[in-house]
Amino acid sequence: MIDLKLLQKEFDHVSAQLQRKGVTAETMSVIKEKNEALKKAKASFEAAQADQNAMSKLFGVYKREGKDIAELKAKVDANKVIVSERQEAQRQAEEALTSLIMAVPNIPDANVPDGAGEEENVEIKKVLTPKTFSYTPKEHWELAETTGWIDFERGVKIAKSRFSVAFDMGARLERALINFMLDFNRERGFMEVSVPQLVNRKALEGTGQLPKFEEDLYVTTDGMYLIPTAEVPLTNLYQDEIIPEKELPIKMTGYTSCFRKEAGAAGRDTRGIIRQHQFHKVELVTISKPDESDAIFEEMVSCASDLLTALELPHRLVTLCTGDLGFSAAYTVDLEVWLPGQNTYREISSVSNTRDFQARRAKIRSKIEKKNTLLHTLNGSSLAVGRTIVAIMENNQNEDGTVNIPEVLKPYLGL
RNA sequence: GGACAGCUGGCCGAGUGGUCGAAGGCGCACGCCUGGAACGCGUGUGUGGGGCAACCCACCUAGGGUUCGAAUCCCUAGCUGUCCA
């Protein structure tokens, strides 16, 4: 959620920054209007209420002094009508504003490049050089068949499209990767946490998936939601808390399944396991003091990048432009892994600093220098498991359709 | 699934209709004491919003209700605990 006080104080600046993320000038001025209307409605309601409170207090005095309360009661009764009218006006004004601002994305950092979409993301650097093949490298779904690691048809049979089944070494590789990633992250100072994979609405509002992206979430019959990422439960662990300063930063890593309807992705990546309704991911989440978040962001990017390097996977780092930046992020670096079969780099991790955007929604604070201060929340994948398997398959493939296991994973596979 | 009990500030805990935003304690901050500390003593210390300020409003799990007035009474929901099935 954006800071309404900041908006009020520096409307032109905030408005301009948000317009970079596609919020219209019109929406901004409506928000400004609604905010002012709410303040007026609130002041008028509170004034009536102050009258009410003052008169109510007199009852105690009158009673003690044995005075007649009939006249006072008539006055209070008349005021009560005014109070309830103004209360309703305030409630409506509040609702109008809230529904607007909950759907406003975070303000992008000043150094985020402008751009319409992923084509305009800016490369930071490449890590490791892709190896050259003496033949045309196969795509992972072809290798899925020769290795027998992934079965797409049976996934569809028992669920529907965009579900798959991992068999034998495919399944073992998944488990090995999860353990390897968790251990790697833990050695970098991230505490391992195991969280629920169903959460309530409030949690999703806290991290920004709701109310705007309801159509991409699976919901259960009793109103719980399947998590689209471990970022949701991990970040919301500290919802509505005032965290002692000495406990900061809180650096966590967790493995969960993730569930996404992929509502807006019809026709994209329909083959293979790049875009599934259910996938495994190891996530990093940090809650930090505001002045530490930039340094921690770099740590998180390095963690994910070094993980890819340890797996011997060539990749590159890109800064997302305004058009590709997510709803809650102020700044995001994507890690894209080289897929020789597709002859391109594909996203395998996304590390974001949301600054105080989620903290404001979720009320995550700490008392810093005697003042309750909204903290910064950061999240990043380290890494998406399915896509890592894709990358391993395509980068480590042999001409006969077999795939070599990366050295670092062998201990995890008993090899 | 049924019965009962509870849910109060960073934490613990008192408070059963009228200066209660809430005693007391812990914790924390500052000061005194000390060579330095601990102990002890003193002072301060909830959150959010509005206002230049005085000050005002809201918040005792949440949402409703009764009342001039609710932490306190009533209803509903959630959660926690205990017992029963």
Q: Does residue A49 approach strand B to less than 7 Å at its CB?
A: yes
Helix, strand and coil in chain A, % to nearest 5: 45, 20, 35
- The label of the residue with tokens 């890593």 reads A253
Strand B lies under 7 A from the Cβ of residue A42: yes
Q: Output the distance from A414 CA to B28 C1' rounded to whole Å.
A: 52
Distances (CA, A) of A64 to A56, A57, A172, A209, A330: 14, 12, 80, 56, 60
Whether ipTM exceeds 0.85: no
A323-345 pLDDT, tens digit per residue, is 999 999 999 999 999 999 999 99
* pLDDT-based confidence at residue A64 (cuts at 50, 70, 90): low
Report the candidate in A375, A324, A376, A379 with the shortest Cα–Cα distance to residue A350: A379
| Residue A202 CB lies within 7 Å of the nucleic strand B | no
Tell me the CA–C1' distance in angstroms for A52 and B56: 12
Closest C-alpha among A268, A236, A266 to residue A252: A236
Residue A64 Cβ under 7 A from any strand B atom? no
**Strand B close to A5 by CB, under 7 A:** yes
What average pLDDT does range A278-298 have in this prediction? 95
d(CA A305, CA A349): 9
Across chain A, what does the average pLDDT equal?
Answer: 91
Task: For residue A51, say whether its CB is under 7 Å from any atom of strand B.
Answer: no
Token representation of residue A39: 């303040």
Residues 217-276 of chain A sitting with CB below 7 angstroms of strand B: 242
Please report, rounded to whole angstroms, the spatial distance between the CA atom of protein residue A289 and the C1' atom of nucleotide B19.
40
Q: Are A22 and A107 in contact (CB under 8 A)?
A: no
Whether A365 has a pLDDT exceeding 90, the answer reads no
Residue A406 pLDDT exceeds 90: yes
In this predicted structure, the answer to whether residue A77 has a pLDDT above a threshold of 90 is no
Contact A281, A229 (CB under 8 A): yes
What is the per-residue pLDDT for A148? 96
Q: Which nucleotide is nearest to A49 (CA to C1')?
A: B57
Report whether A290 contacts A373 (CB < 8 A).
Answer: yes
The nucleotide closest to A360 (CA, C1' atoms) = B48
The Å distance, CA of A339 to C1' of B7, is: 55
Q: Is the CB of A169 under 7 A from strand B?
A: no
The residues, any chain, with a CB within 8 Å of residue A251's CB and separated by 6 or more, are A189, A190, A191, A284, A285, A286, A296
Active site residues of A: 260, 275, 347, 350, 387
Q: What is the reported pLDDT for A241?
A: 84
Band the pLDDT of A285: cuts 50, 70, 90.
Answer: very high
Å separating the CA of residue A391 from the C1' of nucleotide B47: 49
Q: Read off the pLDDT of residues A98-146 as tens digits, 9 standing for 90 and up.
A: 888 888 999 999 999 999 999 999 999 999 999 999 999 999 999 999 9
- In strand B, the nucleotides that come within 7 Å of a protein beta carbon are 10, 18-19, 46-51, 56-58, 68-69
Q: Is A304 helix (H, G, I), strand (E, B) or coil?
A: helix
Nucleotide at minimal C1' distance from the A43 CA: B50
| All structural domains of chain A | 4-101 (1.10.287.40), 118-413 (3.30.930.10)
Burial state string for A295-310 with b = 16 or more CB within 10 A and e = fewer than 16: ebbebbbebbbebbee
Give the closest residue to B55 (Cα–C1′).
A50
Q: Residue A293: helix, strand or coil by DSSP?
A: helix
CA of A214 to C1' of B2 (A): 37
How far: A68 CA to B65 C1' (Å)? Answer: 28
**Residue A194 pLDDT > 90:** yes
Does the CB of A55 sit below 7 A from strand B? Answer: yes
Residue nearest to nucleotide B56 (CA to C1'): A50
Which nt is closest to the CA of A60, judged by C1'? B18
At A66, the pLDDT band (50, 70, 90 cuts) reads: low
Q: Indicate if CB(A365) is under 7 A from strand B.
A: yes
CB-CB neighbours of A55 under 10 Å: 15
User: Is the predicted pLDDT of residue A220 greater than 90, yes or no?
Assistant: no
